[in-house]
Structure 1
């Protein structure tokens, strides 16, 4: 997957590739993005992980993560299906 950075340093991911990873059509992924259903985060590696970044995208109970090297190349990635309550709060 091609991951680039824009002039602000934000990560740019290929939408068609993400749609495949989530098992969606490109149109469905874009609809989820417009509705704010896709949540993303980036963690910067420190200490022994210096120079790496972990990009995470969550949609419902699915979480895709990729570890990038210092040249923003994907070194590893995984899709996880989260179990249990996914919207926060306390279990009953």
Structure 2
């Protein structure tokens, strides 16, 4: 997947490739994006991870993550399904 940066430093990802990763049509992904259902974040690596970035996109219970090198090339990517009781919620 090609990941670019715009003049403001924001990451630009190919919508059709993202739709494929999420198993959606491009129209469905864009609909989810218009409704604010796709949440993204970028983490900047420090210490031994300096020069890397992790881009994450979440839609419902699906989470796609990619680790980028200092040239913004994807070094590793994964799609996972988040269980309802995962991160942030404890069972008693």
Q: Which runs of 5+ in 2 are unaligned?
A: none
Q: Provide the TM-score with structure 1 as the length reference.
A: 0.93
Would you say how many aligned residue pairs link Structure 1 and Structure 2? 91
Structure 1 residue 89, shift from structure 2 partner: 7.0
Q: Provide the TM-score with structure 2 as the length reference.
A: 0.93
Note the aligned Cα RMSD (angstroms): 1.6
**Runs of 4+ deviating beyond 4 Å:** 88-92
Per the alignment, residue 42 of structure 1 pairs with 42
Give the whole-Å Cα distance in 2 for the aligned partners of 1:85 and 1:49: 29
Which range moves more in the overlay, 77-86 or 63-72?
Answer: 77-86
Alignment of 1:1-92 (within 5 A): 1-85=1-85
Q: Which runs of 5+ in 1 are unaligned?
A: none
